[in-house]
A and B are shown apart, each in its own frame.
Chain A
Amino acid sequence: MSNKNVNIKDIGKDTKKLASVANEDLMPLPGWDAEENEWAEIPAETKGKYACILDDVCILPIPMPKTVKEEEALVNTFIDGMRKLFTKENNWTFLAMLDTSMEHCAKCNTCSEACHLYEATGGHEMYRPNFRSEIFRRIYKKYVKKEPFAKWRNGDVDLNWRTIARLGELAYRCNVCRRCAQTCPIGVDNALIAREIRKIFSQELGISPPELHEKGSMYQLKTGSSTQMTKLVVKDNVEFIDEDFSEETGFEFKTPWDVEGADILLIHNAGEIMAWPENIAAFSIIFEAAGLSWTLSSDLAAYDSINYGVFYDDVQFARTAILQAQAAKKLGVKRIVLGECGHAHKALTVIADRVLPEPLKVPRESCFPLLRDIVMSGKIKFDPERNNFPVTLHDPCNVTRLMGIIKPQREIMAKLCPQFREMNPHGPHNYCCGGGSGYAIMSRNNIPEWRYKITGRKKMEQIFNAFSDCRGPETKKYVCAPCSNCKGQLRDLFERYEMLEKENMTYSGVVELIVNAMVDVEPGFIKWGEE
């Protein structure tokens, strides 16, 4: 059952599954003809426990209602949450954007073609950016705003517990990359609506993906990091990285911690420390070589730049941003610099800008302009020949489309990577890696398969096309993805598509390319597989 042309009117239908994406509908990938896996059946136990009734994936753990009373409670609580969402007291953060997106959509669906999920699924109706928005809009107009003639003016919707459960799950069929919003002639933002639906579930019903909440933002508030590293553990790990990479690179360095009055507080995504320690080392090497006054902080949430609240919950967002700003104030640093993590960039630099009160204001900036200035300053000697392999750049949505930081990374590439080539499109018009809004850290209920088949498909096409002149294992290739979340997605995609074996392709960030080209560092900082 593909049900590719699923209708909004079916959203509340009494079926076990509303739709599915068939392999034959998937967008073909250039030079890739391997068979796709069929969707695995979600275990009966999971289905019994949670309302996995949308498609073949189950991201949001909505408890399966067992009685009519529980079904009604799900609907009523959601509607209560929707009411709150449209009050300035509960949603001052996004009310202006939400309200205008509710009221002014012409339903022209100009946004559809911009969505990489819609394209990857061969135009599956469920992935049309306006599909979930329209369901949400119809519920709002009829049951919350109670607009006269709402059914006639806006279209009808069948409101029952299945509608709510499916709408919640649909809110997690979007990477919140906002490429659709970029194309809207009016300025309507369907990605924002997906996030607002997530907020109702999290902030009112207390339901959110565990990777984002219990094991994400709550761990960060509890131990200081979603990785659960305490300050002692994180300092130990970074010390180990310092020793290991000092030995490997021949460049002696020591990462500074809690230096009061330093110019820069650098905040990494702590996931890098566990999964990509070379990124941590590369930053330390560059900053030390450039002679910067800088430090890391061991304060709660200040050694992990992640802010998963950006994906699903305004309160959790604000709590994390405040802790990070407090740490900077405590150390008396002149500015915070965000490491290679896209959503952390956006969260602390831009969104927090109107959340932090005056006493917590501290300048916040991206690492990329700073790195560009270091590379161009002449303080460090480089040999670009060390990077003489094809390199392409993946633009993290949060850094480019949502912050307009486009050129600094490219100026570094132009100076240090002789075989740099762009993906098409790129910059603010890039495509999401497919891990955006938290999926890169999820591995339940067919989520990985969904990321391979659907969310990451467009990115894989872009990568294949960027290297169309050097396909095959003979040429080493490098995808520069300066964002932890994007790297998590690429790691899994590359494994699934056997990119190392078949294409001799690896991925990492900008700083690794900088260090790889540093004359004062032993050659071979970037590695392809086990080499």
Chain B
Amino acid sequence: MSQFVYVVAYLSIIVFFVAVVKKIKNYLDKPIHVRWELYPVAHEGGGRDQYGGSYLEDVGWWGKERDVSMIGELKVMIPEILLLKAVWEHNRPLWYATYPFHLGLYLIVGFIGTLLVTSVSGLIGLEHAFYMLPVSALTNLLGPAGFILCIAGALGLIYKRMTDPGLKNYSSPGHFFNLMLFIVTMGVATLTWLFVDPSFQLTRQFVSNLISFNIAPIDSSLFMVQVILGVLTLAYIPLTHMSHFFMKYFLYHDIRWGDEPNINTPKTDAKIGIVLNYPVSWSASHIAGHGKETWAEVATFNPAAEPEEGKE
């Protein structure tokens, strides 16, 4: 049975990373898209980010140095990621449920991070390093807090989805399954912590074993259930809309804030050259039936041109 747990764990971690990479690759493989930015654009420098201004406010903007501030992006992204600022500002009732849920997940990420630190340290002979004690203490704090917040948030979200008319119509069985999966996984994790592994020694050992490919026996059935649920949940996340946790980067940076003008950018010109040669197969009469096949041909063809066009 222990071996099975290890196999599931390895496979789930592989599925997680493959799914994440595949989704990112799928996005990056898409052709160039038109600009569709939305202000305020956080990296606008010179204080423009504060009022939603842009470099287009300058006469002759194409000949000027752009003032781009990465700090501006961080000023928006950090509160957005850590505090879910947009939900706080625009959907306060939901924030009270979704924030504990997300905060719980962040704490669990921190929990896994501390486990990795202590496990790797142990494996490389740093088990007595000065930071081991505080990091272990942090593990003991982050884990239970994360489990409980996640359960509380998920329960709150289920309640909202069942009772809020604005959410009810838009909630599928899949939504409830996802939330229940978190509740069950975190519930089992809480029980394991309470009754089997109060100082996360077993967990730390299991992580060490995983890293060192040491398929050591696991004594506790509850612990095994916890591991299986945990890793399956991990693998499941990027297969759903919850992949927004990493895809959000592209939605913000490439689309919402994608304001890079096509000035002296041969790479962009080359990409435009590619897409303009894509074949077009739309069927409407103003597009099809004129013997024009590529975007370049279709876009430079005037289906309404008067034969005498050009004459006064």
Chain A interface (Cβ < 8 Å from any Cβ of B): 5, 7-8, 77, 80-81, 84, 88-90, 92-97, 99-100, 103-114, 125, 128, 130, 134, 149, 152-155, 178, 181-189, 192, 202-206, 213, 218-219, 221-223, 231-232, 300, 315-316, 318-319, 322-323, 335, 349-351, 353-358, 361, 363, 365-366, 368-370, 373, 400-408, 427-429
Contact = CB atoms under 8 A, between A and B. Distances in A.
Most buried by B among A103, A105, A149: A103
Contacts of B250: 96, 100
A353 B260 CA distance: 10
Contacts of A192: 36
Interface string B250-263: 11101110010110
A153 B173 CA distance: 6
A223 B306 contact: yes
A110 B94 contact: yes
A96 B255 contact: yes
A113 B172 contact: no
Contact of A402 (B37, B276, B299): B37
B52 A406 contact: yes
Given A80-B283, A96-B30, A404 B59 contact: no
A206 B30 contact: no
Contact of B255 (A100, A103, A368): A100
A205 B306 contact: no
Most buried by B among A110, A186, A189, A405: A110
Given A155-B170, A221-B303, A404 B284 contact: no
Contacts of B301: 319
Given A100-B251, A104-B247, A154 B256 contact: no
A406 B111 CA distance: 45
B66 interface: no
B56 A403 contact: yes
Contact of A407 (B57, B285, B302, B309): B57
B284 A202 contact: yes
A449 B286 CA distance: 31
9 contacts: A90-B280, A94-B36, A97-B33, A110-B91, A185-B84, A221-B305, A222-B304, A370-B59, A406-B57
Contacts of B37: 350, 402, 404
Nearest to B257: A187
Given A104-B251, A406-B51, A110 B87 contact: yes
B61 A365 contact: yes
B186 to A, nearest CB: 19
A97 B40 contact: no
> 9 closest pairs, A vs B, by CB?
A404-B54, A187-B251, A428-B52, A222-B304, A153-B174, A206-B284, A318-B299, A185-B86, A155-B172
A282 B212 CA distance: 77
Interface in B262-284: 262, 268-269, 272-273, 275-276, 278-284
Contacts, number: 273
Contact of B40 (A128, A356, A428): A428
A8 B165 CA distance: 12
B169 interface: yes
B159 interface: no
Given A300-B310, A365-B59, 8 more contacts: A89-B278, A96-B27, A103-B243, A104-B247, A182-B38, A300-B302, A315-B280, A354-B262
Contact of A187 (B35, B255, B282, B285): B255
Contact of B34 (A355, A405, A408): A355
B282 A315 contact: yes
Contacts of B303: 218, 221
B69 to A, nearest CB: 14
A51 to B, nearest CB: 18
B98 A353 contact: no
B211 interface: no
Contacts of A231: 312
Nearest to A112: B166
B299 A322 contact: yes
B167 interface: yes
B244 interface: yes
A110 B86 contact: yes
A353 B301 CA distance: 19
B224 to A, nearest CB: 27
Interface string B287-312: 10000000110111111111001101
A226 B312 CA distance: 18
A108 B87 contact: yes
A125 B256 CA distance: 27
A154 to B, nearest CB: 5
B33 A93 contact: yes
A109 B244 contact: no
B220 to A, nearest CB: 33
Interface in B46-76: 48, 51-63
Given A187-B256, A218-B286, A404 B57 contact: yes
Contacts of B32: 92, 354
A188 B251 contact: yes
Nearest to A373: B59
A252 B254 CA distance: 49
B31 A88 contact: yes
Contact of A369 (B59, B262, B276, B284): B59
B39 interface: yes
Interface string B75-91: 00000100010110111
A5 B168 CA distance: 11
Contact of A114 (B90, B255, B284): B90
A65 B280 CA distance: 28
A313 B276 CA distance: 16
Contact of B244 (A93, A104, A400): A104
A369 B48 CA distance: 14
A412 B118 CA distance: 62
Contact of B172 (A152, A202, A322, A358): A152
A363 B62 contact: yes
A153 B172 contact: yes
B150 to A, nearest CB: 16
B276 A95 contact: no
B22 interface: no
B241 A105 contact: yes
Contacts of A322: 299-300
A213 B31 CA distance: 28
Contacts of A111: 90
